[in-house]
């Protein structure tokens, strides 16, 4: 029996470990394998100076954690955020392992990050920081060993600087060092929107089984970045309009629906979505507790926890962000009958199309956007139904079902590969 009092809800790594333990307890996997695959394989911390535009320098800290490489090269994004620390990166790297295993793409899990505040940095400073950070972690990354991608506050431009920096060292152009890069230098059609599109394929399948009419659903999204914005845009294909969205500065609400393109334009002009015309300003806390059919957390981890889970009035939560809901909140939501579709399934579309991008780079043969989207649909739909079957058969929630599937696959790889030497 798991002693949950040992786990601190405000620590993403504790939440990762508890989610893992809850699922592992239900599986008959050898204890030595469970111990091996729970923890990260390799952790790399770096300190490096950054020269700011005003010529002063500061020492920054960055990390790259490879959680698991049993099923293929380590794979995971790079995050620039003030809250980045080794434990957060460990948790995010672990979630990548389980995510790649749930959708059955041949990657392990990794994550990286630099503790910094990019909202206060110029583009030139971000570029210098990126190039130096990549140089610092270059001993452990590589197209066949560990392939970074975008995450919070990193984007295709940052990926382009990574391609350039890594290629300069190698002496030849090496697009397969990262995914999520611009199309012009080897990116994949469909990658920018892939996380959001994948989430909507999963939502479509869930809605069919739960008898939810998406065209009449009230949808709320926390976070208006790459994932949140594109979900708001693409969900219109179901005839659905999002009624509330937020960013780090707060949220906006319009019961009759928001126009995502106009909200984006306003946010690009003013620096935030707040004070968007034809809407009411609300806080992020109020947004999460709005009565709605579908709540999509697409910002950062730890947003739905013991303190607010009881107030959530959504019928379905589908997680765009990594780690937005704690296992303590899961218990409360399960009791209330809220249907939670977990991050390691729901937001796996990004890494799925990252896999397609990597395959295209390695083969030097590029796919049409329709082929990318169809391939994504097939993988997300299959993964959803595999998780759903375990959820029904084992009478566990969707998160535990997804972990059970992922842990079984990674454990099978360990069992087959054995121990060196």
Catalytic residue numbers, as ranges:
111
Q: How many residues does the chain have?
A: 421
- Report whether the peptide linkage leading into residue 421 is cis, meaning its omega lies within 30 degrees of zero: yes
Taking the CA atoms of 29, 13, 322 and 335 in sequence, report the sign of the dihedral they define: positive
d(CA 399, CA 391): 8
Site track for ligand NAD across 230-269, x = CB under 6 A: ----------------xxx---------------------
CB 297 within 8 A of CB 304: yes
Please identify, using beta-carbon distances, which residue of 13 and 29 lies nearer to ligand NAD: 13
Q: Give, rounded to a whole angstrom, the gap between the first and last alpha carbons of the chain.
A: 34
Report d(CA 200, CA 338) in Å as an integer: 18
Least distance (Å) between residue 310 CB and ligand NAD: 20
Q: Within 280-309, which residues bind ligand NAD (CB under 6 A)?
A: 284, 298-300
**Binding residues for ligand NAD, how many (CB under 6 A)?**
24
Greatest C-alpha distance within the chain: 66
Residues in region 162-201 near ligand NAD by CB under 6 A? 195
Q: Which is nearer to ligand NAD, 113 or 175 (CB)?
A: 113
Q: Of 50 and 344, which CB lies nearer to ligand NAD in the complex structure? A: 344
151 sits near ligand NAD (criterion: CB under 6 A): yes
Stretch that binds ligand NAD, among 58-66, 123-131, 220-228, 413-421 (CB under 6 A): 220-228
The Cβ of residue 16 has, within 10 Å, a number of other Cβ atoms equal to 27
| Contacts for 44 with CB less than 8 Å, ≥ 6 apart | 63, 64, 65, 137, 139, 140
Structure tokens at 2: 């798991």
What is the footprint of ligand NAD within residues 266-285 (CB under 6 A)? Answer: 284
Q: Which of residues 319-378 bind ligand NAD (CB under 6 A)?
A: 320-322, 347, 350
Contacts of 43 (CB under 8 A, 6+ apart): 63, 64, 65, 66, 86, 90
- The piece of 37-45, 144-152, 306-314, 396-404 that touches ligand NAD (CB under 6 A) is 144-152
Q: Whole-number minimum distance, CB 343 to ligand NAD, in Å?
A: 7
Closest separation between CB of residue 299 and ligand NAD, Å?
3
Comparing CB distances to ligand NAD, the nearer of 168 and 248 is: 248
- Give the binding site for ligand NAD (CB under 6 A): 150-153, 195, 222-228, 246-248, 284, 298-300, 320-322, 347, 350
């Amino acid at each position: 029996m798991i002693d949950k009092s040992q786990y601190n809800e405000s620590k993403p790594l504790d939440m990762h470990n508890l989610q893992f333990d809850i699922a592992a307890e239900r599986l008959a996997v050898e204890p030595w394998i469970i111990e091996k695959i729970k923890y990260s394989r390799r952790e790399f911390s770096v300190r490096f100076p950054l020269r700011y535009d005003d010529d002063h320098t500061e020492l920054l800290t960055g990390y790259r954690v490879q959680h698991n490489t049993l099923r293929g090269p380590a794979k995971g994004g790079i995050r620039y955020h003030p809250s980045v620390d080794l434990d957060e990166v460990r948790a995010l790297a672990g979630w990548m392992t389980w995510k790649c295993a749930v959708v059955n793409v041949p990657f392990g899990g990794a994550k990286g990050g630099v503790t910094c505040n990019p909202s206060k940095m110029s583009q030139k400073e971000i570029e210098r920081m990126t190039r130096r950070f990549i140089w610092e972690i270059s001993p452990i990354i590589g197209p066949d060993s560990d392939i970074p991608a975008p995450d919070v506050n990193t984007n295709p431009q940052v990926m382009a600087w990574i391609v350039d920096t890594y290629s300069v060292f190698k002496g030849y152009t090496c697009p397969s060092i990262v995914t999520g890069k611009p199309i012009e230098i080897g990116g994949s059609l469909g990658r920018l929107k892939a996380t959001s599109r994948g989430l909507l394929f999963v939502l479509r399948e869930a809605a069919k089984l739960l008898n939810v009419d998406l065209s009449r659903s009230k949808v709320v999204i926390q976070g208006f970045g790459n994932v949140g914005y594109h979900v708001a845009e693409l969900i219109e294909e179901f005839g659905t309009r999002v009624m509330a969205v937020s960013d780090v500065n707060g949220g906006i609400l319009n019961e009759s629906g928001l126009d995502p393109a106009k909200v984006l334009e306003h946010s690009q002009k003013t620096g935030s979505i707040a004070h968007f015309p034809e809407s009411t300003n609300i806080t992020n806390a109020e947004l999460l507790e709005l009565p709605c059919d579908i709540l999509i957390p697409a910002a950062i981890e730890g947003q739905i926890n013991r303190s607010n889970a009881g107030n959530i009035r959504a019928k379905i939560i589908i997680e765009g962000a990594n780690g937005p809901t704690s296992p303590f909140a899961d218990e409360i939501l399960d009791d209330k009958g809220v249907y939670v579709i977990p991050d390691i399934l729901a937001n796996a579309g990004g890494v799925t199309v990252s896999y397609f991008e990597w395959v295209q780079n390695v083969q030097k043969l590029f796919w049409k956007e329709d082929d990318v989207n169809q391939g994504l649909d097939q993988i997300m739909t299959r993964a959803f139904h595999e998780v759903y079957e375990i959820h029904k058969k084992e009478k566990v929630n969707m998160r535990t079902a997804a972990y059970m599937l992922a842990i079984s696959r990674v454990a099978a790889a360990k069992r087959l590969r054995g121990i060196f030497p």
